[in-house]
Amino acid sequence: MNPDPFENFLARLQGVRRIGRDKATAFCPLHENPPDGHKPSLSVARGDGGRVLLKCLGGCATANVAKAAGLEMSDLFADTTPPKGRTARPWLVTTYPYRDENGTVLFEVCRYVPKDFRQRRPDGNGGWIWNLDGVRRVLYRLPELLAADPAAWCFIVEGEKDADALGTLGLVTTTCSGGAGKWGRITDDSALHGRRVCILPDRDDPGRKHALDVARALHGKAADVRIMELPDVGGVKAKDVSDWLDAQDAREPQDLASTLAALADAAPPWTPTTDCKPPADERRTGGPVLTCLADVKPEAVAWLWAGRIPLGKVTLVFGDPGLGKSFLTLDIAARVSNNLPWPDRPDDRAQPGGVILLSAEDDPADTIRPRLEAAGADTGRVVILRGVKTASGAGMEHFNLSRNLLDLEDALHQTADVRLVVIDPISAYLGGADSHKNADIRALLAPLADLAARHRVAVLCVSHMNKGMGGRALYRATGSLAFIAAARAGWLVIPDTDDPKRRLFLPAKMNLAEEPTGLAYSLESVDLEGIGPVGRVAWESGPIRMTADDALAAAAADPEDRGARNLAADWLTEVLAAGPMKAAEVKQAAKDAGIAWRTVKRAQTAAGAKPRRRGFGPGAAWYWELSQGPDVSTSAIECQADRANPIDSTENA
């Protein structure tokens, strides 16, 4: 195989617009990710010998553009033999067009080597858009299916390669895009109504589950539905249709087609009560749990916090460190646990329920429980999932979503009336997944979302904000876009530029209702008997009509100055939390910390610090101290717990 570097490079870009066969424009992956409605600035052309010619109008170097697209410079040339010690890059090897009744291409599935798949749709100008937003999902080989003998068996397989393989035998065949588990995305399966359908599952658990999904979807619509697992060939189990055909040596296509038709005739008709378990030697414990949508009663979206946090869904809260995101989630947990009113709805109390906390860094004794009590929680309804027992039962390992989701489900069963699960921060529970890879994150969050739906609980995940200073709030959650994509609601926490002590809680995404207004809060402290000052959230009752995008734009107006001042305020609060310090000592400490003295002085108000003169005459000295005690900022509230338990709590501030 000699792949085309030009086509391979274009397949990795967004906003591709072709200009003839050998030229195109696209968004530069280095400085236009994601694009924001402007014209693309990357020019791509096919040069001599098939090499790729690049020019970025933004001035990005060719090597850097290639790297941002996941390639090396050598990948831009037609000689694709990988140098020693380097593996080959993915190459586009074939496309599978999905056509409507008239033969018009609606979208394509692209297959790569090493094995990978992407989907794209025509942009109307000879180029492609790499998503299927708004596209009608049709059956594969739909025109051939509609033209086929309605009395012939129609074989439904898993994957376009298998469907094309059966098509070369003259058989009627189809599949759906996306592979196992995606049959429900088909917009219209009426081409199969009244037909005889035989489903050929891949020989693995996902393949068998997919076959059952298809059978249930077509039961009562198709004239006959059967599931047929292909027989062994020479004692070898074929994993899929292509495997089975490859093992048939040199048998004639007509002979193979007749064999498959005869096997379909001999297979038992499928009904919802049919025992469709795999053979005994491959049977595993448990089995699929299926629900027919005809048996599901439609219902309105249910809410934990009306219009803000839905039940049965994932919600993401994100913002910079030091803004009290963990105080906020514990405030929400307290309201759920103790039937307390919501800040914007004083007459609407939270329905009481259990809460499960996954907190990666805060100590339960000196941080989490005091904060919950300060917020008015019923701590008898709140549990912490601290970890998971090792296989031997003698120890405990850190919980992660890639291995331990069933343990979280067990925790839901063991805790009464759970309505809220808090994961703070989500980045601490990813296991070995790369937080910047969409595929890795989707693989973790999709099962989490399914768990939330099945148990009708709200899953509230906490995350940081990435370092970019511009762009929409939707794209500012740290890591892969899959985080915000998986969430049905997203909330940005950001300081008020006019009052650094005031935090804004603003909607960044709301898929389930009209976008709500924002809210504002600050942090205050209360004295708990035997503990001392403990922080909690103090909400404002009025709405905030500023959008998350507007708040980010305001914060970015003078980012260097404002960011330095806020950091200096947090530093100053922590330095003075233990008591007054001589001004000269504060100045020296600032110098040691690399903070300019003028920045420290401008941060006085935000930190709640004041210089005071002590004594009289020659022995007098100037001291700096906190004017309201250690409750004037997040850092001050947390510093006591941090001294007793020296854990970096920046993530949870």
Q: What is the pLDDT of residue 593?
A: 82
- Are residues 240 and 112 part of one domain? no
Q: pLDDT tens, 83-95?
A: 444 445 556 667 8
Q: pLDDT tens, 255-277?
A: 889 999 999 999 999 887 654 44
Q: Is residue 606 part of a domain?
A: yes
Q: What is the pLDDT of residue 427?
A: 87
- Are residues 219 and 231 part of one domain? yes
Question: Range of 571's domain?
Answer: 559-648
Q: Which of 508, 525, 555 is the last residue of a domain?
A: 555
- Are residues 477 and 376 part of one domain? yes
Q: Is residue 467 part of a domain?
A: yes
Domain of residue 166, CATH code: 3.40.1360.10
Q: How confident is the model at residue 476 (pLDDT cuts 50, 70, 90)?
A: confident
Q: What is the pLDDT of residue 389?
A: 84
Q: Is residue 348 part of a domain?
A: yes
Q: Is residue 238 part of a domain?
A: yes
Quote the CA–CA distance of 63 and 77 in Å, as a whole number.
13
| pLDDT at residue 103 is higher than 60 | yes
The burial of 509, by beta-carbon neighbours within 10 Å (0-12 exposed, 13-18 middle, 19 or more buried), is given as buried
- Are residues 592 and 633 part of one domain? yes
- Are residues 324 and 250 part of one domain? no
pTM of this structure: 0.46
| pLDDT at residue 408 is higher than 80 | yes
Q: Is residue 298 part of a domain?
A: no
Quick check: 319 and 382 in contact, CB under 8 A?
no
Burial 613-644 (b: 16+ CB within 10 A, else e): eeeeeeeeeebbbbeeebbbbbbbbbbbbbee
Radius of gyration for the alpha carbons in the chain, expressed in angstroms and rounded: 30
- Are residues 223 and 83 part of one domain? no
- Are residues 32 and 111 part of one domain? yes
Quote the CA–CA distance of 325 and 314 in Å, as a whole number.
16
The total domain count for the chain is 4
Q: Is residue 293 part of a domain?
A: no
Q: What is the pLDDT of residue 184?
A: 83
Q: pLDDT tens, 290-335?
A: 878 888 788 899 999 999 999 999 999 998 888 889 999 999 999 9
- Are residues 190 and 244 part of one domain? yes
Report the pLDDT averaged over residues 18-46. Answer: 80
- Are residues 307 and 278 part of one domain? no
Q: Which residues lie below 8 Å from residue 215, measured CB to CB, with a gap of 6+?
A: 199, 225, 227, 270, 276
| pLDDT at residue 141 is higher than 60 | yes
Average pLDDT score over the chain: 82
- Are residues 589 and 551 part of one domain? no
Q: Is residue 137 part of a domain?
A: no
Domain of residue 624, CATH code: 1.10.10.10
Which ranges of 541-650 would DSSP assign to H, the alpha helix? 548-555, 559-576, 583-593, 597-602, 604-607, 634-644
Give me the amino acid identity at 254.
Q
Highest averaged pLDDT of the listed ranges 230-234, 420-424, 495-499: 420-424
Q: What is the pLDDT of residue 3?
A: 62
Evaluated on CA atoms 432, 437, 441, 442, the torsion sign reads: negative
Quick check: 111 and 101 in contact, CB under 8 A?
no
Q: Which of 255, 285, 315 is the last residue of a domain?
A: 285
**Virtual torsion, Cα 604, 605, 608, 614, nearest 10 deg:** 50
Find the helix packing angle between 634-644 and 559-576, rounded to 10°: 50
Q: Is residue 266 part of a domain?
A: yes
Q: Which of 530, 555, 580 is the last residue of a domain?
A: 555
- Are residues 410 and 355 part of one domain? yes
Q: pLDDT tens, 435-451?
A: 777 778 888 888 899 99
- Are residues 182 and 102 part of one domain? no
Q: What is the pLDDT of residue 448?
A: 92
| pLDDT at residue 279 is higher than 50 | no
